[in-house]
Each structure stands twice: as structure tokens, then as C-alpha cells.
Structure 1
Amino acid sequence: VMEWRKWFRQTRVHNTLTLNDKDLETTESLTKLWQPDGDVQTLVTENPGYKNLKHRRSVFFVDNTYFVIVDEAAGSAKGVVNLHYQMPKGKIANSREDMTFVTQFENGSNMKLQCFGPDGMTMKKEEGWQSTAYRKKVKRMNVSFNVRKDGGDAVRYITVIYPMKDSADAPEMSAKFKNKKFDEKGLEVEVKVNGKKQVLKYNL
């Protein structure tokens, strides 16, 4: 039991960011912005998880329809930055070419996840587990999007998660940063879903 508890406590088996797949060294999460009104709800949090590396996560809920998650790893630390997602159990179609995952469920609850990152980003699939009750676990897929960080430039990802009833209705999606580098005081990204453009931004 203790071995499994240890496994489930690992940072890399949660939907978050790691450096070299290591557990967080510091957990001092800070809410930088919470904006719950209007067509786009915005949440921005920050955590100095490792020495010389902080993780800022910005979450946008757009038109009550889909999520855009921006992860930025800023600081002088070097290594491989890993962005982890734990997939639901069940059949999932995926593509390394465009970094997409689409669930293939029949019960009307499906989703498409697509990650947009810098050139050279790789994707790794690993066996994962989900604990459904005490001493009960089921297999699922763990995924990481990995980028080598060699210097002071931040590593930045945009992930779009689009829920839909039928996997056949998975939309075409694209996303890019409008601010060319990590900005302590704000963020601006452009997302397109089935050709409809949405600019998401905030200032602190």
C-alpha cells in the first residue's frame, strides 16, 4: 500500500509541470488573478516549484464551451521541462504529428486535447493509474509534452481542451502566443477553433 501511495504522490502523475520529471521542491502557490465574469473566465496562478524555475498557469474558460491552459516555465534553471496530462481510461485516438488526443467514448462525454509548444517539443506516453477506491486502481494513459530548456528563455505551452458529445465532432484547433516572450505583467494568445478566432489576454 505504501508503495502505491508513494507512486500516486509523484508530481509527474498529476496534471501539472515538472523539471526533469522530478517532484516539486516548493509548493507556495499564489493566485495572481481571478476574473469570473463575462464570456471568458480567467484564473492565473504561480508556483516557484524548483530552484530558479517558476511555473505560471493561466486558465481561460471560453464562451462556456472550452478551456485554454497556458503554462509558462520561467527562470534560469536548465533541464527538460515536462507538461503532464493524465488521460481518462478508455479508448483514445492520438497523433504525435499534431500533439492531439481525442477520446472515443460512446456515452456522449468526449474531449479533444491539443498541445501547442515550441519547436523541438516531443510527446511521451506512459502507463498510468487511476485510483477509484481504497486499494483499487485501473490503468490509464499518462502523457507528457517535453521541451529542453538550455538557458534563461521561458518554455511556454498552450493546451486547448474542447469537450463535445461525439468524437466525430472534434474541431480543428490552433493556438499561438502574441507576446513573443514571457511577460511578468501579462499574457496574450490567439486561439482558433473551427476557424473562429479568439484573442485571450490579461494584465496584472
Structure 2
Amino acid sequence: MMITKAAAEKWETGKDLDILSYNNPSYEGLQHQRSVLFIDKTYFLIIDRAIGPAMGTLGIHYALKEDSNPIYNQKQNSVTTSYTDGNNLLVQLLNKDSINLRQEESFVSYQYQKEIKRPAFVFEKFKGNNQTECFISVLYPYSNTAAPKIKIKENDYHDPANGKIDMIITIDGKTRLIKQDLNK
């Protein structure tokens, strides 16, 4: 049975980094901690941690606007919208471990009892023990037809399972150090 009892853990704003972190018990034996980092007032880095002894398939779900015409890239673990006006979004999972990107069925309703189909997808991986599992996603809006190239380099301090983020993210050649302790 799903539990919804989220509690804010961290809320900090700054010149080039805003952080919101909250925890939700989700399911028996599983805490879901989500930390959203708004970087350089430009893009979002989302760190999802599944904490606890529960095992099974974990999934991070996304839904898009019905006319977004997404392009799914299994190799890059990414999805991009393809609006002709150039207002597009890249959603990319940055994990180095084995992840499955799968399309899902989803609907939205703007009028009572009238559903419209919309694109949706999930990034999945299996949690087979009581170790914490993590998903690290980037949501990057861009204003042209080519999605940015994103890479990460994990530094020595990087241990997302224990809430330690220490990585260099490179987007189209521009680098940014992201170093945070999500436990403080």
C-alpha cells in the first residue's frame, strides 16, 4: 500500500543554486527521498533515493504534454520533446548503472470525464537488497532543435546512496561542479 506523508527536509535558495529536499515513506520498508537542485537558474538536477529494506522494481515516472512528440533514446537514457517552435525539454538519466527506459500509457483531463492520451515514460531498475538505490536525472529546457550533450564525472566524494553528491556536470562543453551533502 502506498503511503503519502511527505516531509520537507531542506529548502535553501542562493544566487546560482536552489535546493528542495523532502522525504516520503512511500511503501512499507521504503523511504523515497527526492532532492531537486535548480542550477544556475537554468536547469534541474533531481536525485531520487530509495532507502530501506524493501526490494523490487523501482521507477521514476514522467509525463509530457500531449503534443510534445517525444524522441526516446535508450542508449542515452534520455527523452526529448520536439516542438517546432524550439521550446524543448531534455530529460536524461545520468546513472552509470543498468537502467531500463520504457514508455507508459498516461492520460490527462482538462474537462470532467474527458481524457486525452499523453506521452509518458519511466526509468526503471531493480532493487535486490537493503542497499539504497539512486536515480540522478537532469531536466534541461533548451530553445533549439538539437538537445544539449550532457556528461558527468563522478569525483572521489560522490556517494549518492549516502547522500553525498560530488560530480562535474558538463553541458555542451560548459562545466559545473555540483557538491552537496543531502543529509544536512
TM-score when normalising by structure 1? 0.80
Instruction: Give the number of the structure whose residues are more often helix, by fraction.
Output: 1
Structure 1 residue 45: deviation in Å? 0.6
Give the match's secondary structure for 1:151. Answer: coil
The one-letter code sitting in structure 2 at the alignment partner of 1:53 is L
Question: Which residue of structure 2 aligns with residue 28 of structure 1?
Answer: 5
Give the match's secondary structure for 2:161. Answer: coil
Question: In 1, are the aligned partners of 2:9 and 2:23 still within 8 Å (CA)?
Answer: yes
Choose the corresponding residue for 2:108, options 81, 105, 130: 130
Q: Tell me, which stretches of 5 or more residues in structure 2 are unaligned?
A: none
Structure 1 residue 166: deviation in Å? 1.8
Question: Which residue of structure 1 aligns with residue 81 of structure 2?
Answer: 103
The structure-2 alpha-carbon separation of the partners of 1:161 and 1:56, relative to structure 1 and needing over 3 Å to count, comes to same
Note the 1:22-61 alignment, pairs <5 A: 25-61=2-38
Note the 1:68-147 alignment, pairs <5 A: 68-90=45-67, 91-147=69-125
Question: In 2, are the aligned partners of 1:116 and 1:176 still within 8 Å (CA)?
Answer: no
The structure-2 alpha-carbon separation of the partners of 1:187 and 1:133, relative to structure 1 and needing over 3 Å to count, comes to farther
Distance 1:176 1:84 in 2: 25
Distance 1:167 1:150 in 2: 39
Runs of 4+ aligned residues of structure 1 deviating over 4 Å after TM superposition are none
The one-letter code sitting in structure 1 at the alignment partner of 2:174 is K
Distance 2:109 2:40 in 1: 32
TM-score when normalising by structure 2? 0.88
The one-letter code sitting in structure 1 at the alignment partner of 2:120 is N
Root-mean-square deviation (CA, aligned residues, Å) is: 1.8
Structure 1 residue 29: deviation in Å? 0.6
Tell me whether 64-73 or 87-96 shows the greater mean CA deviation.
87-96
Give the match's secondary structure for 2:14. Answer: coil
Give the match's secondary structure for 1:182. Answer: helix
Question: Which residue of structure 2 aligns with residue 180 of structure 1?
Answer: 159
Structure 1 residue 199: deviation in Å? 2.5
Structure 1 residue 195: deviation in Å? 2.6
